[in-house]
Chains A and B, each alone.
Chain A
Amino acid sequence: MINDIIISAKGLTKKFNDFIAVDHISFDVYKGEIFGFLGANGAGKTTAIRMLCGLSLPSAGKASVAGFDVYKQTENIKKTIGYMSQKFSLYEDLTVKENIRFYGGIYGKSNQFIKEKTGWLLQRLHLENEADKLVGSLPLGWKQKLAFSVAVFHEPRIVFLDEPTGGVDPVTRREFWNLIYEAAESGITIFITTHYMDEAEYCNRVSIMVDGRIDALDSPAALKQQYAVDSMDKVFLHLARTAQRVDS
């Protein structure tokens, strides 16, 4: 199993002056799994993701992503990962095609690659007729699915999804998760944060952050058993109640 670890954190910490946003978290993520990274608002999820993506330098601890060190090899990390932020990350004043073209371009993909994969992707998302429409004119659900497809367009080894399904209806969320499963099957490791506990059930393993620490980490089934409850919702509430920190 050791060989299959793709993300590894040991005592990873981030301080902002006196405030400890992420407090010595340690975890491993295995290749090809869907790893749920849960926690209430302000628990430190986004800060942790930012460190793993090379956007923010840790204050202490060790971490590696796809074998690259988060202190020294951020450039390599950036080439290996995909990222979808909680804010909608496509350009509304560009068409569907132009957005795909642009993101393919910034990851240095060849025109040939972009052209072929764009066709396949549009077909997959049933967006052939919308290819030349401005993204701003699409419904939110379609935008989210497109944003995810764009995040994995360059075929990264890991994709970080920071609350990707915020504000989306249940049907679209279900479709969104189908895309995630498909990506996971193709070998992409999924690292996802979410507020929806039904989504937590879809993950292979979840970690729950409280006040900057990871208080629980296991498969949803094991966690439910451990806390003797019947849903992830209850597991989460049980842990989140102990939180001292208010929404930051």
Chain B
Amino acid sequence: MNQFFSFVKKEFFHIWRDKRTMFILLGMPVIQIIIFGFALTNEVKNAEIAVLDQSHDAASSLLVNEIKASRYFTIAALLHNPDEIKTTLQENKAKIILVIPSSYGNDLKHLNAAQVQLIADASDPNTATTLINYASAIIQDYQQRINTNIQIPFAIHTQVRMLYNPQQKGAYSFVPGVMAMVLMLVCSMMTAITIVREKETGTMEVMLVSPVRPMKIIIAKAVPYLLLSFINIASILLLSVYVLGVPINGSLVLLLAESILFTITCLSFGLLISSITDSQQTAMFISLTGMFLPTAMLSGFMFPIENMPLALRMLSNVVPSRWFYEIVRSVMIKGSGFEDVWMQTMILLGMTLLLIILAVKKFKIRLE
């Protein structure tokens, strides 16, 4: 035990003495959360909307008021003529237009169904999509309310969607993504680098000549990074809840347990990298291309997996962070329990075991 403790203490010294790296490791999640949460958000506030109300009755003005009341839109213009639609968009007076047909009030009253149209300026497709989503959400929200008033029981479908992310906040998808990226970086890359560094300096050889079992060396290496990861997970979650206002809807215990699992996945990947490379540069390069980029690109965090070509969709299945991202999103945002994410958990667990087996095998071969 004294042996193991000496080891862990030494690893902490390495981290502590290299203050710059330590601050980067601890500060990075904070900065990423703030950048992603505020600066890079695709959330839109006070976007200009124009309304073409052809119905002009009580029902339609209620809908218009609904839009007006939302903090996402300010009504830039009230149009009177369909011809104005084009010019309004072209002159950039509004980014989105709500068209209420003349039959709206009557349809709603007699058929219990009415149509409205949303026209958005798609020259900025991302904003357009976001705005369409926001406006639809507001309309659905409103529709749902009047449905319940007159007791028509089909509001459930909309409800599911509203529950996910009623305010369409950008931070909701970024928080799980940042968690995946930070853990990947701290655990995979730093573990790989710290082991390879010892190979480069020759201290690893001295260690292997000593009676310490190789497995103990590895675990001792991993312990400090495990701890760093916990600090990072905690700071990400605290910032999410208290600064970005993203709630943790599911069980915190489940969320933490899944994070630990993913941390171990990353550690074993870092270990695998360290046993196949001999230089810090190579280790860093492999971690970046093998883990960091796929995490950013293929986990569904920046680009929706559903929209990817088949080949990339298939490829995303072997990226561990894809599954972790899904788990965190489900547990944190949707409030899912273990029964909803057990499949993803099993996949992640399987990948972890595979990585550990491969890493240990590689490590042994190197000793021969």
Instruction: Please tell me the number of chain B residues within 8 Å of chain A, measured between CB atoms.
Output: 24
CB < 8 Å neighbour of B3 from A83, A86, A108: A108
B14 touches A (CB below 8 Å): yes
Specify which chain A residues have a CB less than 8 angstroms from the CB of B211 in the assembled complex. 75, 78-79, 106-108
Complex contact A87–B205 (CB within 8 A)? yes
Measured CB to CB, the closest approach of chain B to A160, in angstroms, equals 8
Residues of A within 8 A of B14 (CB): 91, 93-94
**Measured between alpha carbons, how far is A22 from B211 in the docked complex, in Å?**
25
Q: Is the CB of B210 within 8 A of A91?
A: no
Contacting residues of chain B (170-225) with chain A, CB-CB under 8 angstroms: 201-203, 205-212
- A89, CB-defined interface residue at 8 Å: yes
Verify if A219 is at the interface (C-beta below 8 Å from B). no
User: Is the pair A54, B203 in contact by a Cβ cutoff of 8 Å?
Assistant: no
| Cβ 8 A contact of A108, one of B2, B9, B203, B206 | B2
Q: Are B10 and A102 in contact, with the CB atoms below 8 A?
A: yes
Interface string of A224-247 (1 = CB under 8 A from B): 000000000000000000000000
B91 within 8 A of A: no
Q: Which residue of B lies closest to A136 (CB)?
A: B17
Chain A 22-62 near chain B by CB (<8 Å), digits 1 or 0: 00000000000000000000000000000001111100000
Which residues of B lie under 8 Å from residue A56 when comparing CB positions? 367-368
On chain B, the residues within 8 Å of A108 by CB distance are 2-3, 211
Give Cα A142 to B212, complex, Å.
27
Q: Which of A55, A83, A84, A98 contacts B10 (CB 8 A)?
A: A98
Interface residues of A in 99-114 (CB under 8 A from B): 101-111
Does A85 lie within 8 Å of B206, measured CB to CB?
A: yes
Contact B206 A89 (CB under 8 A): yes
B205–A55 contact, CB under 8 A?
yes
Let me know if A88 is at the binding interface, CB within 8 A.
yes
Contact, CB under 8 Å: A93 / B18:
yes
Q: How many A-B residue pairs have CB under 8 A?
A: 82
Interface residues of B in 4-54 (CB under 8 A from A): 5-7, 9-10, 13-14, 17-18
In the complex the two chains form, what is the Cα distance from A43 to B240 in whole Å? 61
Q: Please, how many angstroms separate the alpha-carbon atoms of A91 and B14 in the complex?
A: 9
Which of B6, B17, B202, B208 interacts with A105 by CB under 8 Å? B6
Question: Could you tell me if B202 and A89 are in contact, using CB atoms closer than 8 angstroms?
Answer: yes
Across the interface, which residues of B come within 8 angstroms of A90, CB to CB? 203
The reply on A192 being an interface residue by CB < 8 A is no
Residues of chain A lying within 8 A (CB to CB) of residue B10: 91, 94, 98, 102
Docked-complex contact B6 and A57, CB < 8 angstroms: no
Say yes or no: A105 contacts B2, CB within 8 Å.
yes
Contact residues in B for A88 (Cβ distance below 8 Å): 201-202
Tell whether A106 pairs with B7 under 8 Å between CB atoms, given A87-B202, A93-B17, A98-B13.
Answer: yes
Check B202–A102 contact: CB distance below 8 A: no
A81 close to B (CB within 8 Å): yes
Q: Which of A55, A109, A134 lies in contact with B208, CB distance below 8 A?
A: A55
Tell me the bound Cα distance from A107 to B17 in angstroms: 24
Q: How many angstroms between the C-alpha atoms of A86 and B206 in the bound complex? A: 10
B262 to chain A, nearest CB (A): 29
Q: Please give, as numbers and ranges, the residues of chain A lying within 8 Å of B205 by CB-CB distance.
A: 55, 83, 85, 87, 89
* Nearest chain A residue, comparing its CB with the CB of B209: A83
A85 near B202: Cβ-Cβ < 8 Å = yes
Enumerate chain A residues within 8 angstroms of B209, measured Cβ to Cβ: 53-55, 78, 81, 83, 160
Closest A-chain residue to B213, C-beta based? A75
Shortest distance from the beta carbon of B307 to any chain A beta carbon, whole Å: 47
Task: Please report the C-alpha to C-alpha distance between residue A91 and residue B367 in the assembled complex, in whole angstroms.
Answer: 22
A56 → chain B closest CB, angstroms: 7
User: CA–CA, A87 to B17, complex, Å?
Assistant: 22
A106-B203 in contact given A55-B367, A93-B13, A94-B13 (Cβ < 8 Å): no
State whether A105 touches B5 (Cβ < 8 A): yes
| Chain A residues whose CB sits within 8 angstroms of the CB of B206 once the complex forms | 83-85, 89
Query: 1/0 per position for A122-134, CB-CB distance to B under 8 A?
Result: 0000000000001
Contacts of A78 in B (CB 8 A): 209-211
A56 and B203 alpha carbons, distance in the complex (Å): 17
**Which single member of A57, A102, A103, A104 contacts B368 (CB below 8 Å)?**
A57
**Cβ-closest chain B residue relative to A86:** B202
Bound together, the chains give a CA A54 to CA B206 distance in angstroms of: 12
CB distance from B227 to the nearest CB of A (A): 19
Residue in chain B with minimal CB distance to A87: B202
Inter-chain contacts of A87 with B (CB < 8 A): 201-202, 205
Across-interface contacts of B202 in A (CB, < 8 A): 85-89
CB distance from A150 to the nearest CB of B (A): 9
Q: How far is the CA of A115 from the CA of B2 in the complex (A)?
A: 14
Contacting residues, chain A, for B17 (C-beta < 8 A) = 93-94, 134
What is the CA–CA distance of A91 and B7 in the complex, to the nearest angstrom? 12
CB nearest neighbor in B for A93: B17
Please name 20 pairs of A and B residues whose Cβ atoms are closer than 8 Å in the assembled complex, sorted by A.
Answer: A53-B209, A55-B205, A55-B209, A56-B367, A78-B209, A79-B211, A83-B205, A85-B202, A89-B202, A91-B14, A91-B203, A93-B18, A102-B10, A105-B2, A105-B3, A106-B3, A106-B207, A106-B212, A108-B211, A160-B209
List 14 additional contacts besides A85-B202, A105-B7; criterion CB under 8 Å: A54-B209, A57-B368, A78-B210, A78-B211, A83-B210, A87-B205, A89-B201, A91-B14, A92-B201, A93-B13, A98-B10, A105-B5, A105-B9, A107-B210
Q: Chain A interface (Cβ within 8 Å of chain B)?
A: 53-57, 75, 78-79, 81, 83-94, 98, 101-111, 134, 160
In the complex, the 10 A-B pairs of residues with the closest C-beta atoms, listed nearest first: A105-B6, A87-B202, A83-B209, A93-B17, A78-B211, A89-B206, A79-B211, A102-B10, A106-B210, A106-B212
